[in-house]
Amino acid sequence: MKAGIINVTGYSGMELARILHGHPEVEITSVTGRSAAGKRLGEAVPHLGSIDLTITEELTGSVDLVFSALPHAVSAERLGPVLDQGVRAVDISADFRLRDPKEYREWYKVDHPSPQRLGDAAYGLPELYAAEVAGAQIVANPGCYPTAAILALVPAISAGLVETDLIVDAKSGVSGAGRGKYPYSEVNESVSAYSIGGHRHHPEIVQTLSSYSRNGDVRLSFTPHLVPMTRGILATCYAPLLDGSTTQGRVMEAYRSFYEDAPFVDVVGEPPMTKHTLGSNTCIIHPVIDRRSGRLIVVGCLDNLVKGAAGQAVQNMNVMFGLRESQGLEGLALYP
Amino acid sequence: MKAGIINVTGYSGMELARILHGHPEVEITSVTGRSAAGKRLGEAVPHLGSIDLTITEELTGSVDLVFSALPHAVSAERLGPVLDQGVRAVDISADFRLRDPKEYREWYKVDHPSPQRLGDAAYGLPELYAAEVAGAQIVANPGCYPTAAILALVPAISAGLVETDLIVDAKSGVSGAGRGKYPYSEVNESVSAYSIGGHRHHPEIVQTLSSYSRNGDVRLSFTPHLVPMTRGILATCYAPLLDGSTTQGRVMEAYRSFYEDAPFVDVVGEPPMTKHTLGSNTCIIHPVIDRRSGRLIVVGCLDNLVKGAAGQAVQNMNVMFGLRESQGLEGLALYP
Amino acid sequence: MKAGIINVTGYSGMELARILHGHPEVEITSVTGRSAAGKRLGEAVPHLGSIDLTITEELTGSVDLVFSALPHAVSAERLGPVLDQGVRAVDISADFRLRDPKEYREWYKVDHPSPQRLGDAAYGLPELYAAEVAGAQIVANPGCYPTAAILALVPAISAGLVETDLIVDAKSGVSGAGRGKYPYSEVNESVSAYSIGGHRHHPEIVQTLSSYSRNGDVRLSFTPHLVPMTRGILATCYAPLLDGSTTQGRVMEAYRSFYEDAPFVDVVGEPPMTKHTLGSNTCIIHPVIDRRSGRLIVVGCLDNLVKGAAGQAVQNMNVMFGLRESQGLEGLALYP
Amino acid sequence: MKAGIINVTGYSGMELARILHGHPEVEITSVTGRSAAGKRLGEAVPHLGSIDLTITEELTGSVDLVFSALPHAVSAERLGPVLDQGVRAVDISADFRLRDPKEYREWYKVDHPSPQRLGDAAYGLPELYAAEVAGAQIVANPGCYPTAAILALVPAISAGLVETDLIVDAKSGVSGAGRGKYPYSEVNESVSAYSIGGHRHHPEIVQTLSSYSRNGDVRLSFTPHLVPMTRGILATCYAPLLDGSTTQGRVMEAYRSFYEDAPFVDVVGEPPMTKHTLGSNTCIIHPVIDRRSGRLIVVGCLDNLVKGAAGQAVQNMNVMFGLRESQGLEGLALYP
């Protein structure tokens, strides 16, 4: 299989290159980047020096699959001609995640560049939508926060254990913001909340969770936080239990059976740490009943650049092309 | 004024020494420490080298005030003889925080060493209890998490803006756990939740907030998290608004008027970062209405070793001895 | 005394404001900043919110002393009119450090904006040049690396203990590079050397050390490194011992007597850590004889924004205006 | 191939497990650990949960190769019976690195447990000693600092470009000290030197470099530093050039030709950062002529737990068993 990466010089793009380089069934044949066009990949991105490619402005040669790691709006635009040629694509940007172009406009403040294609896109969370992903031309790779929040909450909602009056309090490493946004000295040794009540991943979480909610209704507070580390997301999710007598055992059973066949979700009995996911495609989930408040608390964590971006994109690729879901993604986390 | 510090070699104890050293009305005359007894203070704690004292096992000479920075249970025990002599004390341990010795036993798993003294203790949050603090022999210095959570939530509860069905999702730097607990390589670049649904600061938060709640009832989920930084606590607090039409302006007004005379609480209109409190006694509070969910979200942040421990202890001392509340505590935060 | 700060929004400028705010003899009466002009100081620099000033483009009112925290070349230019009015200045930029305008041109790649003033400037390392500083109109505040390296090496050179064939291997926190240069995710968890053999602080170190060298000759390798922390410089300095029989005791004595009257230099017998200087104006120095190699190794460390910039500037101010050298600078380091 | 790991719960042991798990030719069949004996591997070391093994006190079953990740002295002792059975071993401890048991005693303060086996051991730096490694029963895996320092300096010494009057100023992440030694809050945001003039890796560096020195003589100052990051070593090495007219081109050529066939050494023209080696087995080397001082400065960097420990151990295994040297070690660095 030949794969191309659009915008290899961003964090998601370079992480895609790292992962695909170790994938036994894939060859990266083309990588693009604007300001670095013309450079050897290893000049622009030194840790990829052993991948023998030159960065170009546009994709070159024919490929079986394109990964786009461009920012939103630009991504859908650049993918247009590629999709016209029938090539399949995994889009890491937000462009094909929301089904409703009006909602896209509301949150992203631009008109969707190709609303007519929204129907061709599958939401690429393979734990929930493997069949759609397998058949889609476009796979919209979920956001990093939504991946953690949705995987943490869906089993409880789906099993009817909780009310969908939800709080997702999420903590992210700095790489989630992309290259160059936060100067070291101003975020190091500091935690802060941002986009309180108004982050763009809000509608994405609601869209998926409401399809699992019995009455289709989800009320959500989503508060992202910036934490002084490079990678990692930990989402702490709160939902009122519908039945106060629900046991911890019943909850664990619901979660374990929901993810029985999911190679990348670990349901655990102790609070996880993001460090246990570093560099791996694993999402660790820890549901606990908080008896005093009558709530279910679920902690989900993952590496925002792997299961939250590039790793999930490769997992989607595996599903799209009928490969084993975990192929090329079996590396363990780097610890400590 | 002469002050003694019991257990100067712990993080709170050494921070007390740093702050008191710069206080114009106080002289530190005695510092204790078990394993370091006999050493010069600067040998055991190098950054305090310019304080010319020897660490002893027991307090020496007579003092006007004792600060205890011992762990719980040990603290109440060691303070006993000191209190018998009529000396006043600020206890940084948890021993005099909970009014009910049964609750103490439930959470701390030991019998309270001196339940008969609980009535003599004031809860040392001067923004709420200055009068009690001024007159008390024992001041129970609040926990770091409770300080942030209570200061963030009390104005809204007191003004009747919210239901007391609360979530406090708190993020703390590693120094909050005391000396030596967490090895660098295992907490660096990682976030995790701990003591989910069962942290010892839970009853302390409930005890204070319920005295402000109209029906005396508080339901609380409290989830502390460990964040890879040395100092700082950020508490993100969630409460349902009682009236959906409450405006952001109304909320800000309630908070600003509540803290009008509080020299160490800043109510701000933008999400704060813990780094803006480093080394200072400030607690920054940011209340926001989350219209979509009908909740009030309040972020509170502070330096866990200053406003969350030693600084607040000195603020309590100022109130106890009729000094200006902010004396010796006016240093600005160290940024970046 | 009234003081003005030019460019209060840079790291050195804001640190000057923090320190001067706590200085009993000084009032900050004017602060400038280009992009933030018109804003309240607390809007642009939140941790300085309790200083009640508006940022202006130019200095306002009359002041006794101006601190310039501008970049080189711009600084000398902007100081011109101020100096013409007879106001005294401490310049934190590099503009008045090198005595020879040709050397300035060689290292900074621009012509010196006011070479005629170089003769009026003193090199503001008060441990060495207090008399010159006291009488100067312009004080050139030394670079952060040179402060550490020179204070570490001068006593040995001055006492004739070593050959001046020197290596200074220095490690700096990220704030030394100024605002915004290094994105968090790309310098966190990483160490690297930079400007090997060609850093601009090279001639500054050589200029001062050669005036202490018996033959006026200094050969120096200076290698700066970037370390993942916000503040702190540690310089590890190597020099061949002239006499192989020199004892550790002799060395300690030379260092201790050299700094007998220096309130901000601590000569210690154990390897220091930068953390013991955080926020304080202290430089800690640890000289050791490496018997196996016949070298003297001297470790010097300090907070690059305090003793390496703003604190030293205030120390210079104290000397210039006949105040106690340590006034306003007595705060202990923040640890941990 | 079946491999056993003694002491899988230390940092080197767990890193061995991670790497071997991804090695196509190896099966880990036995893992030992004292305090964790009886537990599932994933209970004791969560990120290794997908390796289905139980930790035992002693090795179980027969293995082709044993890796020992025990501390020195204990390691040689525990390996004794294993070696007696003819099993081959890679020892990550220091026990078989120094050829002279007297030197071992001098530096490690204990008698060597099995001096009679020192002759059977090869020093496992495959870039230099592949032939010896291939034939040895015991391979002494080099220390992390020596790996960086030796690889950085050998080409210049071997080519006769420099005097062997050397300084190695090395900076290491905290994991190099093993589990649990440094509490987070006391090393974070701090740099310090330690063991100045007396670190145990000193004789190991000298032993190897002197075998490349023309006159067999090496004078070395070795200063290790602790840097606030988890992984990574950067060694900055200084040596006087023998001939002042040596060009940068000549040096690069000497280095590139020396490492022509070394799959894990990259000789580069720009200063490297440790982050570019995170999780990979690469050592990056950057030699620069410092014309002003007449010295060669060489920066070498690597991941102390991979090329500095477990990765190099697997590389040695590949060489010992005739596998491709880079097999199982081809993963790229994790960046950012």
Residues in A closer than 8 angstroms to C181, CB to CB, are 183
Do the Cβ atoms of B198 and B253 come closer than 8 Å? no
Q: Give the pLDDT band of residue B320 (cuts 50, 70, 90).
A: very high
* CA pair distance C6, C71, nearest whole angstrom: 11
Q: State the smallest CA–CA distance between residue D303 and chain C in angstroms.
A: 10
Residue D304 has pLDDT above 90, yes or no: yes
Question: Which residue intervals of chain B are DSSP H helices?
Answer: 11-21, 41-44, 74-84, 101-108, 126-135, 144-158, 184-187, 202-212, 248-258, 311-320
Q: Is the pLDDT of residue C171 over 90?
A: yes
Q: How far is C329 from chain B (nearest CA, A)?
A: 11
- The residue in chain B having the minimum alpha-carbon distance to the alpha carbon of residue D180 is B183
Closest residue in A to C232 (Cα–Cα): A185
Give the pLDDT score at D180. 81
**d(C-alpha C237, C-alpha C255), whole Å:** 14
Rounded mean pLDDT of C199-221? 96
> Residue C81: which residues within 8 A CB-CB, separation 6 or more?
none
| Strand runs labelled E in B150-267 | 165-172, 192-193, 219-226, 233-240, 265-267
Strands of B65-68's sheet in order across: B55-56, B27-32, B2-6, B65-68, B88-91, B138-140, B121-123
Q: How confident is the model at residue C327 (pLDDT cuts 50, 70, 90)?
A: very high
pLDDT score at C180: 82
- Measured between its terminal Cα atoms, the distance across chain C in Å is 34
Q: Do D276 and A47 touch (CB under 8 A)?
A: yes
Q: Is pLDDT at B130 greater than 90 in this prediction?
A: yes
Q: Tokens for D189?
A: 């945001």
Contact D188 B230 (CB under 8 A): yes
Set of chain A residues whose Cβ sits within 8 Å of the Cβ of C230 = 184-185, 188-189
Alpha carbon distance D78, B14 (integer Å): 44
* CA neighbor of C8 nearest in space, from C92, C96, C122: C92
D334 and A21 within 8 Å at the Cβ level: the answer is no
How far is residue B237's CA from residue D82's CA, in Å, rounded to a whole number? Answer: 58
Residues C280, C22 contacting (CB under 8 angstroms)? no
Q: Across the interface, do D292 and C197 touch by the CB < 8 Å criterion? A: yes
DSSP C94: S
| Span B226-250, pLDDT tens digits | 999 999 999 999 999 999 999 999 9
Distance CA D134, CA D120 (A): 12
Using a CB-CB distance cutoff of 8 angstroms, which residues of chain A are in contact with residue D333? Answer: 18, 47
Cβ-based contacts of A244 with chain B (< 8 Å) = none
Q: Given an 8 Å threshold on Cβ–Cβ distance, is C167 in contact with D238?
A: yes
Contact: B334, C175; criterion CB under 8 Å = no
pLDDT in the model for residue A79: 98
User: What percent of chain B lies above the pLDDT cut of 90?
Assistant: 98
Q: What's the average model confidence in pLDDT over B185-206? A: 97
Q: How far apart are CA B117 and CA B83, in angstroms?
A: 10
**Catalytic site residue C144?**
yes
pLDDT of residue D2: 98
- Please give the single-letter amino acid code of residue B102: K
d(C-alpha D69, C-alpha D47), whole Å: 18
Kindly list the residues of chain B whose beta carbon comes within 8 Å of any beta carbon in chain D.
11, 173-175, 179-189, 228-230
Side by side, the strands of the sheet bearing C265-267 are C192-193, C219-226, C165-172, C233-240, C295-302, C283-290, C265-267
Nearest to B48 among C49, C332, C336 (CB): C332
pLDDT at res. B55:
98
Residues of A in contact with B299 (CB under 8 A): 193, 196
- Find the residue in B nearest to D232 (Cα): B185
Tell me the Cα Rg of chain D.
19
Q: Which residues of chain A have pLDDT under 50?
A: none
* pLDDT class of B178 with cuts at 50, 70, 90: confident
Pairing between strand D138-140 and D88-91?
A: parallel
Beta bridge partners of C162: C241
Interface of chain C against chain B, CB under 8 Å? Answer: 11, 14, 18, 21-22, 45-51, 175, 189, 230-231, 266, 268, 272, 275-276, 278-280, 330-336
- Would you list the DSSP string of A4-63? EEE-TTSHHHHHHHHHHHT-TT-EEEEEE-STTTTSBHHHHSGGGTTS--BEESS--S--
Q: What is the chain B residue with the closest CA to D185? A: B230
Kindly list the residues from chain B whose CB atom is less than 8 angstroms away from the CB atom of residue C22.
Answer: 330-332
Confidence class for position B180, pLDDT limits 50, 70, 90? confident
Of the partner residues A11, A184, A229, the one whose CB lies closest to the CB of residue C174: A184
C83 min Cα distance to partner chain B (Å): 30
Q: Using the 8-state DSSP alphabet, how is residue C332 labeled?
A: P
pLDDT digits (tens, 9 = 90+) for C125-153: 999 999 999 999 999 999 999 999 999 99
**Per-residue confidence band for B287, with pLDDT thresholds at 50, 70 and 90:** very high
d(CA C207, CA C200): 12
Beta bridge partners of residue C55, listed in sequence order = C31
DSSP 8-state secondary structure symbol assigned to residue D30: E
ipTM above 0.90, yes or no: yes
State residue B181's pLDDT score.
Answer: 87
Going along chain B from its start, the domains and CATH numbers come out as 2-120 (3.40.50.720), 144-304 (3.30.360.10)
Q: What is the CA radius of gyration of chain B?
A: 19
> pTM for the whole thing?
0.98
pLDDT at A178: 87
Q: How do residues D158-178 score in pLDDT, each as one tens digit? A: 999 999 999 999 999 999 998
- Facing residue for D47 by CB, picked from A45, A231, A333: A333
Considering only alpha carbons, which residue of chain B is nearest residue C306? B334
Question: Of A224, A46, C137, B309, which Cα lies nearest the Cα of D277?
Answer: A46
Q: What is the pLDDT of residues D2-16, one digit of tens each?
A: 999 999 999 999 999
pLDDT above 90 for C308: yes
The dihedral through the CA atoms of A317, A319, A320, A324 has a sign that is: positive
Q: pLDDT band for B165, please (50, 70, 90 cuts).
A: very high
Per-residue pLDDT for C181 more than 90?
no
- Asked if residues C293 and D221 have their Cβ atoms less than 8 Å apart, the reply is yes
* Chains with ≥3 CB–CB distances under 8 Å to B: A, C, D
* Res A180: pLDDT: 82
On the question of a cis peptide bond just before residue B336, with omega within 30 degrees of 0, the verdict is yes
Residues of B in contact with A234 (CB under 8 A): 191-193, 225
> pLDDT tens digit string along B70-120?
999 999 999 999 999 999 999 999 999 999 999 999 999 999 999 999 999
